[in-house]
């Protein structure tokens, strides 16, 4: 194999296609992207920094930005805490909080092990949503080394005064359920679990347009959900709220199908969200994937990463024009080419290097921006559903087909539209502190997003942010070729 190529991320697919068949190409791409990520993060020492947004016309201005002048800011906020949203960056600042106990498909990575993902979340919030964010990876373990949800709850309540919203991330179940549900009710700012509500919102957007392309309605569709963690349990909840028939939904966890006879789930009160679904879905108590997949219209899998998690034989049992969402990261449960070989009509994954990226990156920048604009006290399920329909409408307006059922991240216009739609739903749901029109929300969001992008592009153009050196791209490719031998 010739490794002397002028490789870029733009021509990666073509170069790998010339060297590997589809199965090996997918594996090689995963190896390459992981290695390049490691090398790039080492080169840049992370990917987030702090940049002031106020000028320094002269050193006397430090008397304004700091002491003695800033004392007036402190006393003003003391007398009215809501003034903190106007006199500090709080109104546009999100804490990305994680105990790193379930990072992507890698499980417990230790608290600092989640920093790469949390910084990535902050990066996307800024570039896509014009939102500032801080990665906060915390140690939630008790004296026995077990994750303690109450520690996360206490931590978030302690930092709440510094932020406009909290983005929970990569917290293992069942703790994730309690942490979110308690904090949503007890905090005065939005607390949002992106693995759950974010993934569910974008998945619902994909479902909406997939149903349009296959001529189905939500209520008549037979769903199989493979995996019953935070993502799929929330996806199920939003699907049911949007009209899916619970008698036509079957959900699987690592021990089998959910149904009313799952005494193991009923006996463990920590899994109350799963038990709710046991009571609602699969009334026939179907037990096996083979039986569940017979005549199924749509498979939504958020389970164990790896190309053999979902079997081609299962997909071949589905109805004509079947839809498969294989959204585990970093490796989908079945690669798109294999799913299509088995008969799938539409295939989506969580990755941007395949068509139909159903990834929460399409949701959380706009959703959080919309919530922040109106200073929402929480993000309701209605707001997540509104975001899903916003994404789906945007994609349909620009043309949907089996290879494109949701917007892509480079369609910048989707984010201010989504932010405005979410802001209006927050007002409608009565959780907004301030009122504004759709146009006002849209214009504010668009201005902030354009400013964020222009700032980053300017820093790159002027060399303050360096371009990735070619040698690390070549090194990652060389490593990939060696691993593929």
Q: CA-CA distance, 351 to 331, in Å (whole number)?
A: 8
Q: Verify cis geometry, omega within 30 degrees of 0, for the bond prior to 214.
A: no
107: left (phi over 0), alpha (psi -120 to 50) or beta: left
At 37, list the tokens.
């990520």
Strands annotated E in 302-452: 322-326, 344-349
Cβ-Cβ contacts under 8 Å for 96 (sequence gap 6 or more)? 118, 121, 122, 125, 133, 134, 135, 136, 167, 169
Burial of residue 477, with CB atoms counted within 10 A of its CB: 0-12 exposed, 13-18 middle, 19 or more buried:
buried
Beta-carbon neighbour count of residue 100 at 10 Å? 27
Distance CA 160, CA 170 (A): 19
Instruction: Provide the CB-side half-sphere exposure for 31 (13 A, CA).
Output: 18
Q: For residue 30, how many C-alpha atoms fall within 13 Å in the half-sphere facing its CB? A: 17
DSSP structure class, residue 245: -
Asked if 140 and 210 count as a contact pair (C-beta separation under 8 A), the reply is: no
How far apart, in whole angstroms, are the C-alpha atoms of residue 132 and residue 362? 17
Backbone angles phi, psi at 11, to 5 degrees: -105, 10
Element (H, E) at 232: helix 230-241
Task: Give the Cα-Cα-Cα angle 348, 350, 356 (nearest 5 degrees).
Answer: 35
Name every residue whose Cβ is closer than 8 Å to that of residue 210 and which is 6 or more positions away in sequence: 298, 323, 346, 348, 405
> What region does 298 belong to: left with phi over 0, alpha with psi -120 to 50, or beta?
beta
Q: In angstroms, rounded to a whole number, what is the distance separating the alpha carbons of residues 480 and 20?
A: 12
CA atoms lying within 13 Å on the CB side of residue 64: 9
Maximum C-alpha span of the chain: 74
Residues labelled as active-site residues: 66, 121
> 164 with 143: CB under 8 angstroms?
no
């Amino acid at each position: 194999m010739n490794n002397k190529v002028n490789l870029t991320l733009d021509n990666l697919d073509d170069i790998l296609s010339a060297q590997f068949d589809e199965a090996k190409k997918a594996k090689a791409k995963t190896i390459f992207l992981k290695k390049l990520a490691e090398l790039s993060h080492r080169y840049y020492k992370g990917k987030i920094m702090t940049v002031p947004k106020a000028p320094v016309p002269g050193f006397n201005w430090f008397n304004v930005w700091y002491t003695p002048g800033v004392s007036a800011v402190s006393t003003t906020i003391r007398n009215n805490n809501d003034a903190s949203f106007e006199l500090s960056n709080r109104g546009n600042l999100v804490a990305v909080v994680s105990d790193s106990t379930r990072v992507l498909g890698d499980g417990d990575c230790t608290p600092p092990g989640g920093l790469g993902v949390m910084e990535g979340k902050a990066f996307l919030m800024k570039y896509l949503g014009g939102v500032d964010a801080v990665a906060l990876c915390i140690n939630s373990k008790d004296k026995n080394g077990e994750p303690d949800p109450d520690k996360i709850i206490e931590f978030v309540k302690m930092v709440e005064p510094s932020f406009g919203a909290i983005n929970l991330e990569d917290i293992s179940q069942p703790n994730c359920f309690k942490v979110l549900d308690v904090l949503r009710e007890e905090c005065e700012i939005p607390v949002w679990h992106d693995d759950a509500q974010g993934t569910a919102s974008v998945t619902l957007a994909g479902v909406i347009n997939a149903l349009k392309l296959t001529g189905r309605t939500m209520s008549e569709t037979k769903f199989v959900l493979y995996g019953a963690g935070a993502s799929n349990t929330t996806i199920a909840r939003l699907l049911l709220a949007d009209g899916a028939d619970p008698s036509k939904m079957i959900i699987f966890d690592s021990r089998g199908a959910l149904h009313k006879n799952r005494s193991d789930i009923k006996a463990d009160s920590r899994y109350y969200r799963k038990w709710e679904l046991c009571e609602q879905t699969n009334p026939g108590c179907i037990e096996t994937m083979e039986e569940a997949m017979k005549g199924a219209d749509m498979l939504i899998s958020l389970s164990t990463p790896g190309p053999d998690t979902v079997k081609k034989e299962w997909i071949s049992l589905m109805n004509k024009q079947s839809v498969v969402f294989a959204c585990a990261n970093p490796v989908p449960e079945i690669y798109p080419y294999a799913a299509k070989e088995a008969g799938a009509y539409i295939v989506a994954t969580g990755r941007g290097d395949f068509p139909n990226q159903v990834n929460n990156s399409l949701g959380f920048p706009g959703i959080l921006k919309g919530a922040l604009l109106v200073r929402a006290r929480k993000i309701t399920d209605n707001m997540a559903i509104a975001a899903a329909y916003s994404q789906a409408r945007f994609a349909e307006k620009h043309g949907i087909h089996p290879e494109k059922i949701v917007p892509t991240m480079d369609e910048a216009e989707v984010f201010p539209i989504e932010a405005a739609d979410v802001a209006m739903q927050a007002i409608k749901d009565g959780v907004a502190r301030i009122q504004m029109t759709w146009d006002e929300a849209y214009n504010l969001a668009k201005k902030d997003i354009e400013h964020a992008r222009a700032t980053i592009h300017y820093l790159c153009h002027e060399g303050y942010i360096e371009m990735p050196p070619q040698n690390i791209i070549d090194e990652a490719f060389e490593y990939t070729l060696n691993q593929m031998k």
